[in-house]
Structure 1
């Protein structure tokens, strides 16, 4: 009985399908979809509309034009920084926008290996990707591996939030690494290092390492403390932007001069000024430097503040004199006194760490302000070792 019932149901279904009439006339066209008429380009965020951002109201809310004008005063915008990356397979990932984008996508392990003949200078779309992300968040904020160029010293894993964007480039350059590298264990009188290049350093942009108290040549038998800036950075309680992009932006003679997207702290307060004014609003805003009572101070007072930069400058001068007197540093070029035809041989080899530290701190450019204690410890140890017989 159950089988007969199943057969009857199947026959009824076939009958109903067979009796379906012809299709009726086409109904009226429905309303256009919410995204009708929009063309989405490759790489653009889905459902992103031009008018969402490209309207006077949104531009005013985001201050896009103001930030672009600020950036025109930034050192990153200058032609010398851009020119360094043109036709270069080792510098394009930081000095050319296209190279940075490819590196951020993971198409290069670290630095670019492709030359860009007509590359774009670093600009808004270097750090930001509004069309792909749909907002002005930073393009690359993942943790950065900063390569060490001291034998036996571990690489630095830098992970300080938004500051990772800065340290993507303000770090040692992994392509075309310096060779040989200094080794703290080569202390025997017969140990030698043969330097054949006058560029005995990994890169100019080592700010990330200095901030975190890493990357210098640490002679045995000394301590290497760090300033409180490192503690704040480790806890992600301070970012590069806190000091270098302080608000409000300083305007001089109708042009942005410091703060904001100028990325500058020092500036000339007038067209006739002969020394810089330092914009320290970020230092005050952090709540740390309560003894700073104004958003600006003279460059002289800034250098002498808590004797930090002054002491580091004195240490660099003393170390430079020792290196010149030993014939290791060319006083005219301020580079290592070495070439392939006239190599610089240093015995014992570990003392080459003093030359490395000079370049490490001199090229970093902050005069120790990022991490005064670490900078001073490296200088003191280097000077002490060179003064040994």
Structure 2
């Protein structure tokens, strides 16, 4: 019995010693010899700063001319509009139009809307690989644009000018005729026209009716200025420009006023947009056509521009002539956006109207 108790005591003692050994710090061994230091290499070249590309645009030097010129633009000073006009004349409406959710009933008269600001057009970059993808300038939209009033027709300038097409296109549909081809003029439709700012369609030569005459109607690709774009002519480097009172910094950049610096790249020595008197010629043709419409008793002067005479029933040919006049004058470039197309449109309209009798 005593032997059994002794054996149990020895076993408990051995277990305790093992537990103490397992939970105690290990006993350090002898210190080894230190290793040999490695070879010190040469310092490498500094990498490109991660923000270098961003800073090229996002700096005070780059931004100041933009901030100074934008307040001179009609984009910043233009009044907001309600109803369907809000799609282009307000920031909220424009955002909705880009999303395809615009509803003019959401902008009733009296709605307080926001004028265009930097963030109306600029939001965030779609890519930061500018070297391969090109600069998108953080535009909200720069893809091809399907025209609102011309279903199935798309305009693509293949550059950031597509942003301009969103608003600078026809806003009113072409007139609808009766089954016999006549047009009944009412107080609601006597001012037919595509609305102002139809520049994109004029550039493409697809705006007006193809009225035949002595002047051949050029095709959509025959515009000598088709290689240009909205941004090249209207956002170039500013220059001193005496036309229409523009002064230095009143043209180009974010004023969106055209600059001669773009024109002289092709027309050396040009000092005015009225090259060889072409704009003067177009203005004279517009005036001639307007007076002829008055003489033919098909139009009168309205509060802002000529209007068809309410109550008349006009044959289609007269209405097509009036539409082409309204289109040419709504372009506001005096023929520069598409010289051969504008000239053919006006001259053939005058020729056609001269051959028609006056409206009784």
TM-score above 0.5, yes or no: yes
Structure 2, unaligned runs of 5 or more: 1-50, 129-135
Q: Residue in 1 aligned with 2:112? A: 118
**Correspondence for 1:382 among 326, 330, 349:** 349
Distance of aligned partners of 1:92 and 1:199 in 2 relative to their CA distance in 1, 3 Å threshold: same
What is the number of equivalent residue pairs in this alignment? 289
TM-score normalised by length of structure 1 = 0.65
Does structure 1 residue 157 correspond to structure 2 residue 154? yes
8 Å CA contact 2:298–2:318 kept in 1: the answer is: no
For 1:355, the equivalent position in structure 2 comes to 322
1:172 aligns to 2:170 (yes or no): yes
> Is 1:243 the equivalent of 2:243?
no
Corresponding position of 1:293: 269
Distance in structure 2 (CA, Å) of the matches to 1:216 and 1:104: 26
Match of 1:11 in 2: none
Residues 1:206 and 2:205 aligned together: no
| Residue correspondence of structure 1 range 67-146 to structure 2 within 5 A | 67-78=66-77, 81-83=78-80, 85=81, 88-108=82-102, 114-115=106-107, 117-130=111-124, 136-146=137-147
Residues of 1 paired with 2:299 and 2:112: CA distance?
Answer: 37
Aligned counterpart in structure 2 of residue 260 of structure 1, from 237, 249, 253 = 253
Please tell me the root mean square deviation across aligned C-alpha atoms, in Å.
3.4
Secondary structure at the residue paired with 1:193? strand
Q: Contact (CA 8 Å) 1:227, 1:372: kept in 2 or not?
A: no
Q: TM-score, normalised by structure 2?
A: 0.70
Q: Secondary structure at the match of 1:130?
A: coil
d(CA) in 2 for partners of 1:311 and 1:254? 25
After superposition, the Cα gap between the structure-2 partners of 1:125 and 1:57, relative to the gap in structure 1 and judged at 3 Å, is closer
2:168 alignment partner, SS class: coil
1:284 to 251, 264, 267: 264
Distance in 1, Cα, partners of 2:246 & 2:288: 40
Is 2:260–2:273's contact at 8 Å kept on the other side of the alignment? no
Pairwise CA distance, 1:158 = 0.4
Q: Distance in 2 between matches of 1:113 and 1:124?
A: 26
CA-CA distance at 1:327 after TM superposition: 2.4
**Contact 1:200/1:356 (8 A) holds in 2:** yes
Task: Give the whole-Å Cα distance in 1 for the aligned partners of 2:222 and 2:160.
Answer: 16
Cα distance between partner residues in 1 of 2:202 and 2:100: 26
